[in-house]
Amino acid sequence: MRKSNDKILSLMQQAASSKDIPSEHPAIIALLESVIFWKKYDFIKNDRKSFYFIHLTMNPNYFSLPDYRIAQELNICQKCVQNYRSDFKKLFLADYERLQAMSKEKLSVLYLTCIWTLEALGFPSEIPTRTDNLSSRALYYFSSLSSDLTKSL
């Protein structure tokens, strides 16, 4: 994983890809809340921001790529990559700062609530026989969506 100069993005990537961060850590919960927010946003606006959120902040394959390569991979323009990432970081930072003031008990309850909400949306809470971190769950989720789509065709 390339070390980003951006502290917020680095925190997001580390929280998404690490197995060693406890589930009640504010960064983990802020990422989960962000996924929920962008899934709701997609539903309301008929958009794909959750897809871009997961790939830009949680997909280790894109951590070390320059923006122009990420844009090519995701079929969007480089300016969109930068704008989306900026939006994603703003939401994450607001949630992260709010969560840092909470007790460990409240964070544990909030973590479970986020996991249950995401499970209701089809997001896996764990993946058997794989590295179990947020990145792997998110990528597994999108790969299962694309395989469901190809089965229906």
pLDDT in tens, 33-62: 999 999 999 999 999 999 999 899 988 889
The SS3 assignment for 3 reads coil
The tokens of 112 are what? Answer: 């479970």
Give the relative orientation of helices 7-17 and 134-152 as an angle to the nearest 10 degrees: 70
Quick check: is 46 in a domain?
yes
Quick check: is 76 in a domain?
yes
Domain hosting 64: range is: 7-152
Higher pLDDT, 152 or 3: 3
Quick check: is 123 in a domain?
yes
Return the DSSP state at 6: -
pLDDT at 131 over 80: no
Q: At which residue do the structure tokens 């680095």 appear? A: 10
In angstroms, the CA 137 to CA 85 distance is 20
Q: At which residue do the structure tokens 């395989």 appear? A: 147
Quick check: is 2 in a domain?
no
The SS3 assignment for 100 reads helix
Q: Which residues of 93-117 are buried (b: 16+ CB within 10 A; e: fewer)?
A: eebbeebeeeeeeebeebbeebbeb
Residues 71-77, mean pLDDT to the nearest whole number: 95
Please, what's the largest Cα pairwise distance for the chain?
A: 48
Quick check: is 131 in a domain?
yes
Per-residue pLDDT, 151: 44
Q: CB-based burial of residue 120 (10 Å sphere; 0-12 exposed, 13-18 middle, 19+ buried)?
A: exposed
Structurally, the chain folds into a number of domains equal to 1
Q: At which residue do the structure tokens 């089965």 appear? A: 151
Quick check: is 120 in a domain?
yes
Per-residue pLDDT, 96: 96
Give the predicted TM-score (pTM) of the model. Answer: 0.78
Quick check: is 1 in a domain?
no
By C-alpha distance, which of 112, 110, 134, 113 is closest to 124?
Answer: 134
